[in-house]
Amino acid sequence: MSIQVHLDRLLAERGMTLTELADRVGVTVVNLSILKNGRARAIRFSTLTALCEALDCQPGDLLSHRPG
Amino acid sequence: MTVARDPLQPLTGIVRLLWSVTTVLSLTAITLVTVASYGTSVCFTSQVGTELIRTVPHGEVGYVSAGSLRVCLSEPSGWERVLYLVDVALPMVSYAVLFLLLMGLLERGAVEGVHTVATADRLRRLGWFTLVAVPVATLGEAAARILVLAEVRPETDLTSLTAEWDVPWWAVVSGLGLLALGKIMRTSAEMRADLEGTV
């Protein structure tokens, strides 16, 4: 997929685990894992908002587009 | 422990029963024609050529006319026996295959889930079979009768085939309906996959 998810990097920079993030945003660890591994087909605005609030970042920090 | 109920029952059971019946009838017909009736006469009933049977004056009421012509061959050749087999067994075999495809659709659908791309593909396959194979089977049945009739009635030609062929319009309509439904199901299956992949 040409959309890259940088959840790994953001978690490492903030010293946060996936389980902690899941608790904060109210999304299951399984779903966050799907997102982290680039297997998600879509992301809800509500999930994106919750992630941005929990990680104190912009959507662009979390997602990027790689052409080709 | 509760056992998950098959949402497609009792339909699957009914289709399985119909498949069993049509398969047994097909195999019985093939066995009877190829083995048991060897050396005996074979008879074909045709709707073409009924003008050979002259209407008979029937008192003051009117005339008696025949709606079908029965041709019996006392010593059929191997080719005529093959035509007889096609006439007797081909439509039944097509029904057996139709029920087999339908049974596969229902059984696999119950296991893998109804709204999947695989189920939509099976439905599409069933649609194509209904649309093409069932009319072709009845065409083959009609062609077999016409070929036999041509031996006793030289003026029999291609137009006789169109007269003899009873087009199964139910299969055309149902086949198109199944193809449309298959297309709709495929779209809904893809939508389901999208929803399941939405975080």
Output the average pLDDT for chain B.
83
In a domain, B138, yes or no: yes
CB–CB of B104/B118 below 8 Å?
A: no
Query: If you search the block for the tokens 């062609």, which residue do you land on?
Result: B143
Shortest CB distance from A27 goes to which of B193, B197, B199?
B199
With CA atoms as reference, report the closest residue to B198 among A65, A39, A55. A39
Looking at residue B56, its pLDDT comes to: 43
Looking at residue B44, its pLDDT comes to: 79
- Helix count and strand count (H, E) for chain B: 6, 4
Cα(B74)–Cα(B72) distance, rounded to whole angstroms?
6
Q: Measured between CA atoms, how close is A40 to chain B, in angstroms?
A: 5
In a domain, B99, yes or no: yes
Q: How many domains does chain B have?
A: 1
ipTM value greater than 0.90: no
- Which range (B31-35, B92-96, B195-199) has the least confidence? B31-35
Phi first, then psi: give them for residue B120, nearest 5 degrees.
-65, -40
**Most confident segment among A17-21, B8-12, B78-82:** A17-21
Looking at residue B196, its pLDDT comes to: 81
CB atoms within 10 A of CB B111: 8
CB–CB of B196/B188 below 8 Å?
A: no
Structure tokens at B90: 């081909």
Phi first, then psi: give them for residue A4, nearest 5 degrees.
-100, 140
Q: What value does the mean pLDDT take over residues B64-78? A: 72
Chain A residues touching B194 at Cβ < 8 A: 41-42
Q: What value does the mean pLDDT take over residues B54-78? A: 61
A-B interface: how many C-beta pairs under 8 angstroms? 24
* Angle at A23 (CA atoms; ends A22, A26), nearest 5 degrees: 75
pLDDT single digits (tens) B159-184: 778 878 889 999 999 999 999 999 99
Of A21, A39, A41, A47, which to mutate for an interface test with B (greatest number of B Cβ within 10 Å)? Answer: A41
Residues in chain A: 68
pLDDT single digits (tens) B93-137: 999 999 999 999 999 988 888 889 999 999 999 999 999 999 999
Which range marks the domain in which residue B140 is found? 12-34+76-196
CB atoms within 10 A of CB B127: 21
Cα(B50)–Cα(A11) distance, rounded to whole angstroms?
87
pLDDT band of residue B1 (cuts 50, 70, 90) is low
- Which range (A22-26, B17-21, B67-71) has the least confidence? B67-71
Subunit contact B198:A41, Cβ cutoff 8 A? yes
Output the average pLDDT for chain A.
91
* Angle at B129 (CA atoms; ends B86, B82), nearest 5 degrees: 10
A15 has a pLDDT exceeding 80: yes
In a domain, B55, yes or no: no
In a domain, B148, yes or no: yes
Cα(B19)–Cα(B24) distance, rounded to whole angstroms?
8
Subunit contact A27:B193, Cβ cutoff 8 A? no
Looking at residue B50, its pLDDT comes to: 59
Query: A3-58 maps to which CATH number?
Result: 1.10.260.40
Q: For chain B, what percent of residues have pLDDT higher than 70?
A: 86
> What does DSSP assign to residue A39?
-
In a domain, B61, yes or no: no
